[in-house]
């Protein structure tokens, strides 16, 4: 259930309370911390409360690959992660269709831009590309229109995993009408809408996502349109699987029998796609928004400069009263834009990944703890911060030394501070909306926080 407590008058921002069928609660707007493999790196479960964590997002594809047959006896993510009261989401594996496929082959992030790619920016599609576009519908690895609007880091875990095997640049995904075939060490694995739903039921998150095809910012209009139609067809299959009678379920975690009433334990979110194209985003928003999902996520590619517009188009057809999640995007600027456009929850690796590499976020901007100015600094990490790291008396100089002496605790201290910072920032966003001060808050935050 989602209750909107207050709407901003100057924007589409809203603040509310999301209560899952299992009775777990998220105050929105909120930030989901990424726990890809059912653990948040450098943050033990017992410390999540100290870091003010409300929401975790785990990865269906990677857990499925990791667990294999153990999935059948998996106790559920809340038990496995030892966080019985924290709301957990799982993505559907749709992102890996992109990250292990086209994104990996061309080194492309979801916001746009090239990583380690032989495909240069600004190049028009060659005649061969165009011919391929026409003659091979349904195969993602042959379409590319490299018109990158810029580069922004996105979770490169999938790249890193495969870098170690020297398999970089190989597209591991083949897309068909039924789903996606992933090339793995054990041969080809198939993941489609039905199986993704079944796996997510077994993982047992509070919020699960429809299986979609996450496209690349490099894909052209023709391909985006075709992929969108596929995502829409898959959305309906996901709803049918989610709503099937209990007798047809392969797993019972989806249901509880209480006081004679069978109640679903998981909320299913549909995903809006459509790349950076206004008509496709609006079409998808209306189509997905009219299906009986419990909430909605906005996925796929966003241009660096078009991001706010893309978010606006993506929510234009969504029902006001249901929650909305922005997938894989979570810089401060993106949060402010997303909240102003009516997004309720976000997830991104920024707080955790940057912490492990020395990137520290504060209300005065971001700094790199490993850089020299911090060497003998007696300054606190952030003056006035109440996180356990800062409360412990950690200075920038101490953190500098820990990172440079390869002390594994450095990542833990930094991770605690960053997660606490992002969760504190979200609580300030909520406070501002609820007090009717969002516009003022947003202006100040943009000036102060966007120096990084």
- Single out the catalytic residue among 206, 220, 294, 347: 347
CA distance 94 to 301: 12
Q: Which is nearer to Zn ion, 33 or 268 (CB)?
A: 33
| Smallest distance from Zn ion to CB 417, Å | 4
Q: Which is nearer to Zn ion, 136 or 409 (CB)?
A: 409
- Single out the catalytic residue among 8, 91, 158, 334: 91
Q: Which is nearer to Zn ion, 301 or 389 (CB)?
A: 389
Query: Per rule CB under 5 A, is residue 369 in the interface with Zn ion?
Result: no
Which residue stretch of 48-56, 141-149, 325-333, 411-419 sits at the interface with Zn ion (rule: CB under 5 A)?
A: 411-419
Query: Per rule CB under 5 A, is residue 325 in the interface with Zn ion?
Result: no
Active site residue 91: yes
Query: Per rule CB under 5 A, is residue 414 in the interface with Zn ion?
Result: no
| Smallest distance from Zn ion to CB 394, Å | 8
Q: Which is nearer to Zn ion, 297 or 387 (CB)?
A: 387
CA atoms within 13 A on the CB side of 102: 32
- Which of 62, 219, 370, 417 is in the footprint of Zn ion by CB under 5 A? 417
CA distance 266 to 210: 12
Query: Per rule CB under 5 A, is residue 390 in the interface with Zn ion?
Result: yes
Query: Per rule CB under 5 A, is residue 214 in the interface with Zn ion?
Result: no
Active site residue 309: no
- Which of 26, 172, 327, 387 is in the footprint of Zn ion by CB under 5 A? 387
CA distance 332 to 20: 26
| Smallest distance from Zn ion to CB 199, Å | 37
Q: Which is nearer to Zn ion, 36 or 389 (CB)?
A: 389
Which residue stretch of 98-106, 113-121, 284-292, 377-385 sits at the interface with Zn ion (rule: CB under 5 A)?
A: 377-385
Which residue stretch of 134-142, 295-303, 314-322, 385-393 sits at the interface with Zn ion (rule: CB under 5 A)?
A: 385-393
Q: Which is nearer to Zn ion, 83 or 399 (CB)?
A: 399
Query: Per rule CB under 5 A, is residue 52 in the interface with Zn ion?
Result: no
Question: Taking a C-beta distance cutoff of 8 angstroms, is the pair 355, 415 a contact?
Answer: yes
Q: Which is nearer to Zn ion, 51 or 209 (CB)?
A: 51
Which residue stretch of 105-113, 237-245, 289-297, 415-423 sits at the interface with Zn ion (rule: CB under 5 A)?
A: 415-423
| Smallest distance from Zn ion to CB 332, Å | 16
| Smallest distance from Zn ion to CB 378, Å | 16
Q: Which is nearer to Zn ion, 310 or 390 (CB)?
A: 390
| Smallest distance from Zn ion to CB 379, Å | 12
| Smallest distance from Zn ion to CB 407, Å | 18
CA distance 205 to 72: 15
Query: Per rule CB under 5 A, is residue 385 in the interface with Zn ion?
Result: yes
| Smallest distance from Zn ion to CB 381, Å | 5
User: What positions carry a catalytic annotation?
Assistant: 91, 347
Site residues (CB under 5 A) for Zn ion?
A: 385, 387, 389-390, 417
């Amino acid at each position: 259930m989602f209750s909107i407590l207050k709407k901003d008058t100057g924007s589409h921002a809203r603040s509310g309370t999301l209560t899952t069928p299992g009775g777990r609660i998220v105050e929105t707007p909120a930030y989901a911390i990424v726990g890809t493999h059912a653990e948040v790196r450098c943050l033990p479960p017992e410390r999540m409360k100290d870091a003010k964590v409300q929401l975790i997002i785990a990865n269906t594809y990677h857990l499925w690959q990791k667990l294999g047959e153990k999935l059948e006896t998996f106790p559920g993510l809340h038990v496995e992660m030892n966080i019985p009261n924290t709301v957990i989401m799982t993505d559907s594996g749709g992102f890996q269709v992109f990250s292990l496929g086209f994104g990996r082959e061309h080194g492309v992030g979801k916001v746009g831009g090239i990583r380690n790619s032989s495909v240069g920016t600004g190049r028009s599609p060659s005649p061969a590309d165009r011919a391929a576009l026409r003659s091979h519908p349904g195969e993602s690895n042959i379409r590319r229109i490299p018109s990158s609007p810029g580069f922004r880091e996105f979770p490169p875990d999938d790249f890193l995993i495969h870098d170690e095997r020297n398999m970089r640049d190989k597209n591991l995904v083949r897309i068909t009408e039924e789903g996606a075939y992933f090339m793995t060490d054990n041969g080809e694995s198939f993941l489609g809408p039905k199986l993704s739903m079944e796996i997510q039921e077994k993982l047992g998150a509070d919020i699960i996502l429809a299986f979609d095809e996450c496209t690349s910012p490099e894909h052209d209009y023709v391909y985006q349109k075709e992929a969108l139609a596929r995502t829409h067809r898959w959305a309906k299959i996901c709803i049918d699987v989610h709503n099937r009678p209990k007798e047809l379920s392969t797993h019972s975690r989806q249901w509880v029998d209480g006081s004679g009433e069978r109640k679903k334990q998981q909320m299913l979110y549909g995903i809006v796609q459509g790349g950076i194209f206004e008509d496709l985003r609006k079409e998808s928003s209306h189509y997905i928004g009219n299906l009986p999902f419990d909430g909605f996520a906005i996925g796929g590619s966003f241009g660096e400069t078009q991001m706010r517009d893309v978010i606006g188009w993506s929510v234009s057809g969504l029902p006001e009263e249901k929650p909305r999640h922005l997938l894989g995007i979570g810089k401060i600027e993106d949060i402010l834009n997303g909240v102003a456009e009516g997004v309720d929850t976000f997830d991104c690796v920024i707080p955790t990944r940057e912490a492990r590499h020395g990137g520290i976020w504060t209300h005065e901007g971001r700094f790199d703890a490993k850089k020299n100015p911090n060497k003998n600094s007696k300054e606190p990490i952030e003056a006035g911060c109440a996180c356990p790291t800062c409360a412990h008396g950690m200075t920038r100089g101490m953190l500098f030394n820990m990172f440079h002496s390869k002390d594994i605790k450095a990542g833990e201290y930094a991770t605690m501070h960053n997660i606490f910072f992002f969760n504190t920032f979200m609580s300030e966003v909520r406070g501002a909306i609820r007090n009717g001060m969002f516009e003022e808050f947003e202006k100040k935050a943009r000036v102060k926080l966007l120096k990084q």
